[in-house]
């Protein structure tokens, strides 16, 4: 499972179940993907 944080988005690579689990994990902290992306830009 790899997570690449780009200036304008996020790319995840791995098995489908790993990506779903990681999205659930980040979903506890960030309600929307745009919140996660804007937080990473800081």
Q: How high is the pLDDT of residue 23?
A: 92
CA distance 14 to 42: 26
CA angle 36, 38, 15 (to 5 degrees): 35
pLDDT at 40: 65
Place of tokens 């804007």: 38
What is the per-residue pLDDT for 6? 85
Give residue 26's domain range. 2-41
pLDDT for res 25:
92
Number of domain units in the chain: 1
Helix (H, G, I), strand (E, B) or coil at 27: helix
pLDDT given for residue 41 in this prediction: 61
Q: What's the pTM?
A: 0.70
Q: What is the pLDDT of residues 1-42, one digit of tens each?
A: 999 988 888 899 999 999 999 999 989 998 888 888 787 666
d(CA 29, CA 15): 22
């Amino acid at each position: 499972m790899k997570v690449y944080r780009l200036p304008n988005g996020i790319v995840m690579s791995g098995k489908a179940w790993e990506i779903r689990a990681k999205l659930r994990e980040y979903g506890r902290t960030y309600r929307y993907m745009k919140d996660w992306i804007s937080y990473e830009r800081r």
